[in-house]
């Protein structure tokens, strides 16, 4: 009978998420695209961290990488060009309980979204920002992007780009309140996974630049770096990205770099002839804007009205 005390209860088994729980729609990237490796790594991080799909949000702007929310069986927001970061910050500002990720590209973030990029880094909200950098506009079919190297022919610059490319690592390390900056490559899945995993564990905004290949429009871009690991600089430190020793041995060029050293991080980011992979900078002591924006979350409607009336009373004459 209802209302009577009972000595029994229903014991529900622990909820365990498998990779299938994070797989969304049919993936429509070009065969061989580096985005596949990132998608797999992110799904594995979600599985390993047992993130509840209904408490996880992927936000994107426009570009090949920005189809990411469609391929995750979580909440997602496919926004406007360059506007992924303000949307993600808005979500986090009022729903700090959600795990918020951003998938953006070198055009989406570093061109039309550059203003939002600067301020998102300064806000340092608890987000994971994945910059898919293939150094070309892929979705609109091979135009020069902000990170396209000089001399690379594109549809907008048939004889090659004439301006030096923007360096997202240098730029981010120059923004106020940057708390986590890392870089990895799509062709080393072990390092890619480990980097994203440590980025997700960071308190604050984690900015991860992923060197990502586009086989459709610039098939030779990064091919030499992929085939010859001497073009990669492996950053090794107990506080950095940890991979199996067998993976680390693949890189003949290694450097012991303390991620707390900002000056050295900036020097590493400016190295012209090698791709540094690992954590360039990390500082969890910096202020997080969400600690302020979330004040008042959970107040009842009556309490909000009362607070508003009290504020207005200050201006009564």
Identify the pLDDT of residue 295. 84
- At 7 the pLDDT is 59
In the chain, what percentage of residues exceed pLDDT 70?
96
Region label for 257, one of left (φ > 0), alpha (ψ between -120 and 50) or beta (otherwise): beta
Q: Are 260 and 155 in contact (CB under 8 A)?
A: no
- The structural domains of the chain, ordered by start, are 19-313 (3.40.50.970)
E-strand ranges in the chain read 56-60, 75-78, 99-105, 127-133, 180-185, 206-211, 232-236, 254-256, 275-282
3-state class (DSSP) for residue 87: helix
Buried b (16+ CB within 10 A) or exposed e, 188-213: bbbbbbbbbbbbbebebbbbbbbbbb
63: helix, strand or coil:
coil
User: How much of the chain is in helix, strand and coil states, percent to nearest 5?
Assistant: 35, 15, 45
Of the candidates 64, 63, 72, the one whose C-alpha atom is nearest the C-alpha of residue 42 is 72
Over the range 232-257, which residues count as b (16 or more CB within 10 Å of their CB) and which as e? bbbbbbeebbbbeeeeeeebeeebeb
What percent of the chain is modeled with pLDDT above 90? Answer: 90
Q: What is the pLDDT of residues 238-285, one digit of tens each?
A: 999 999 999 999 999 999 999 999 999 999 999 999 999 999 999 999
Q: What is the pLDDT of residues 177-236, one digit of tens each?
A: 999 999 999 999 999 999 999 999 999 999 999 999 999 999 999 999 999 999 999 999
Q: What is the pLDDT confidence band of residue 93, given thresholds at 50, 70 and 90?
A: very high
Report phi then psi at 298, rounded to 5.
100, -5
pLDDT at 14: 80
pLDDT, tens digit (0-9, with 9 covering 90-100), for 32-85: 999 999 999 999 999 999 999 999 999 999 999 999 999 999 999 999 999 999
Angle at 44 between CA 28 and CA 63, to 5 degrees: 35
pLDDT of res. 296: 81
């Amino acid at each position: 009978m209802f209302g009577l005390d009972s000595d029994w209860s229903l014991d529900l088994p622990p909820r365990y998420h498998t990779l299938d729980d994070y797989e969304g729609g049919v993936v429509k990237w070009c065969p061989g695209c580096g985005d596949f490796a990132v998608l797999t790594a992110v799904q594995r991080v979600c599985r390993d961290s047992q993130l509840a799909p209904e408490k996880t949000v992927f936000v994107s702007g426009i570009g090949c990488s920005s189809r990411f929310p469609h391929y995750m069986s979580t909440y997602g927001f496919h926004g406007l060009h360059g506007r992924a970061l303000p949307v993600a910050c808005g979500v986090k500002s009022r729903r700090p309980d959600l795990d918020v990720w951003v998938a953006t590209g070198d055009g989406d973030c570093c061109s039309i979204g550059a203003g939002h990029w600067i301020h998102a880094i300064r806000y340092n909200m608890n987000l994971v920002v994945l910059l898919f950098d293939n150094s070309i506009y892929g979705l609109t079919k091979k135009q020069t992007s902000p990170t396209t190297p000089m001399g690379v022919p594109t549809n907008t610059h048939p004889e090659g780009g004439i301006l030096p490319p923007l360096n997202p690592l240098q730029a981010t390390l120059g923004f106020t309140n940057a708390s986590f900056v890392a870089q990895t490559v799509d062709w080393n899945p072990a390092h890619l996974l480990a980097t994203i995993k440590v980025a997700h564990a960071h308190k604050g905004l984690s900015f991860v630049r992923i060197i990502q290949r586009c086989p459709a429009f610039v098939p030779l871009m990064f091919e030499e770096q992929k085939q010859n690991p001497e073009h990669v600089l492996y950053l090794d430190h107990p506080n950095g990205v940890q991979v199996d020793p067998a993976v680390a041995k693949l890189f003949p060029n290694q450097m012991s770099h303390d991620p707390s050293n900002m000056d050295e991080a900036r020097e590493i980011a400016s190295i012209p002839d090698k791709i540094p992979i690992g954590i360039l900078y990390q500082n969890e002591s910096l202020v997080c804007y969400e600690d302020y924006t979330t004040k008042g979350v959970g107040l009842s409607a009556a309490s909000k009205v009362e607070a508003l009336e009290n504020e207005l009373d200050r201006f009564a004459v």
